[in-house]
Structure 1
Amino acid sequence: MDRKSRFIAQLVHVESEEEASAHQAAVRAKHYDARHNVPAWILVDGRERASDDGEPQRTSGLPTLEVLRGAGLKNVCCVTTRYFGGTLLGPGGLVRAYTAAAQAVVENARAEGLLVEMTSVVPVEVRVAYPQYEQVLHVAQNAGAHVAGTDFTDSVLMHLVFRAGEEAAFTAAMTELMAGRENVEVGNARFAEF
């Protein structure tokens, strides 16, 4: 609250421009009687957008977007609703109020454990004979792999996940260890929690 104006920030996970637009529409519908519903969003592919929604230019949307950037967030949409309290805050007051609302919602999400770290990862599948399993598992873990799963059939199929770039050391170690008899399949990089 700033001089009787109320600021309510809502932060959600989105994966597309359409999802960000849907969140904005939902907030506008819920807070139809508010003076302003200021959106800002950032996607992992680099697209981002902010609107001042009738506030003076660069006093609300951009400061909100700067908070999201500063927190290193991607695939998020923040909509800050302002109920006008009757007193004009001026450009500096608006920037401070919208910045504070966005910072508060980000910190609240962080405190509640709702923010997760996402990064570019590469899936790797390795098929080995049972006697080699422990040794290959050790090599994988030393190379920074996360074991996503293991299938035990006539052989062992390990489903590994590496941060993008870290799989190269593992595949080189496997070539050396298995003397060219390795059965390693490297997948395409994707954005995921690690």
Structure 2
Amino acid sequence: MRNDYLTVKDSGKSEIIIQKSRFLTYVERAETEEEALGFIHLIKQKHKDANHNCSAYIIGEHDHIQKANDDGEPSGTAGFPMLEVLKKQGLKDTVVVVTRYFGGIKLGGGGLIRAYGKATTQGIDVAKVVERKLHHLMKVSIDYSWLGKVENEVRSSDYPLKEINYADSVEVFVYTIAKEEAKFLDWMSEITNGQAKIEIVEKEFLEFEVN
């Protein structure tokens, strides 16, 4: 499973006007190239009357899929600067489409590069960036006599509590950062005097918004 990484939280849409041209930016998370292409097609259908629907996406644990499309703008002035914004921000599994309605004033190569870069940055800001951190979901099985102490300690800690199941014994499900598993085990053992049974249930990513 991949390491912690940055991506966008939600779909994002923004708009800026530069020299009378409208730049509409759409941002989406895409975990496969098929998802990215589907999103691009959707936006192109939505804005069939636009002069350009430029796009860029970066996908995969090692960014092995990177594509940029100028959609009729001068080569290298739209898709490439959009892709560079994604790379500069360290984003993965992200697709961006910038739709341009030409306002009658030519921006020139440098102006287009700045415009598409700015539009992409603004769209990402609206979508918001999150860090997806790999966690282990730990099942802590304890006797009911330990419930009060364990629950209080967990709730006042940095370990996210998922749920508590009440059966013959109590099962407390807690997330810990994958790299801190040993630290969690020592901490829980100390709290319960070694009387807790602890096991990893599954591995999953939790998302934390990046300011």
Range into which the TM-score falls when normalised by the shorter chain: 0.7 to 0.9
Work out whether residues 5 and 85 of structure 1, in 8 Å CA contact, stay in contact via their aligned partners in 2: yes
Q: What is the aligned length?
A: 190
Which of 45, 63, 76 is 2:81 aligned to? 63
Aligned-CA RMSD value: 2.6
Distance (whole Å) between structure 2 residues aligned to residue 44 and residue 164 of structure 1: 21
Work out whether residues 123 and 161 of structure 1, in 8 Å CA contact, stay in contact via their aligned partners in 2: yes
2:144 paired with 1:144: no
- Specify which structure has the bigger relative contact order, considering alpha-carbon pairs within 8 angstroms and separated by 6 or more residues: 2
Change (3 A) 1:170 1:143: farther
Q: Which residue in 1 is equivalent to 2:103?
A: 85
> After the TM superposition, which segments of 4 or more aligned residues of structure 1 sit over 6 Å from their partners?
none
Q: Secondary structure at the match of 1:165?
A: helix
Q: Which residue in 1 is equivalent to 2:32?
A: 16
1:41-60 superposed matches below 5 A:
41-43=57-59, 45-47=61-63, 48-60=66-78
Q: Give the drift of 1:192.
A: 2.8
TM-score, reference length from structure 2: 0.76
Which of 37, 43, 48 is 1:27 aligned to? 43
Moved more, 62-71 or 135-144: 135-144
Identity of aligned residues (%): 37
Work out whether residues 139 and 173 of structure 1, in 8 Å CA contact, stay in contact via their aligned partners in 2: no
Which of 186, 191, 197 is 1:172 aligned to? 186
2:123 paired with 1:123: no
Distance (whole Å) between structure 1 residues aligned to residue 165 and residue 159 of structure 2: 16
Q: Which residue in 2 is equivalent to 1:98?
A: 116
Distance (whole Å) between structure 2 residues aligned to residue 13 and residue 32 of structure 1: 22
Moved more, 181-190 or 160-169: 181-190
Distance (whole Å) between structure 2 residues aligned to residue 137 and residue 166 of structure 1: 19
Work out whether residues 129 and 155 of structure 1, in 8 Å CA contact, stay in contact via their aligned partners in 2: yes
Q: Give the drift of 1:16.
A: 2.2
Change (3 A) 1:141 1:170: farther
Change (3 A) 1:10 1:120: same
Between structures 1 and 2, the one with greater strand share: 2
TM-score, reference length from structure 1: 0.82
One-letter code of the match for 1:25? Answer: H
Q: Give the drift of 1:40.
A: 1.7
Q: Secondary structure at the match of 2:18?
A: coil
2:168 paired with 1:154: yes
Distance (whole Å) between structure 2 residues aligned to residue 44 and residue 159 of structure 1: 30
Q: Give the drift of 1:177.
A: 5.4
Q: Which residue in 2 is equivalent to 1:6?
A: 22
Q: Give the drift of 1:133.
A: 2.2
Gaps of 5+ in 1: none
Q: Deviations over 1:84-141 (max 9, x none)?
A: 334332211011110121122223334xxxx544322221111111112233345545
Moved more, 23-32 or 163-172: 163-172
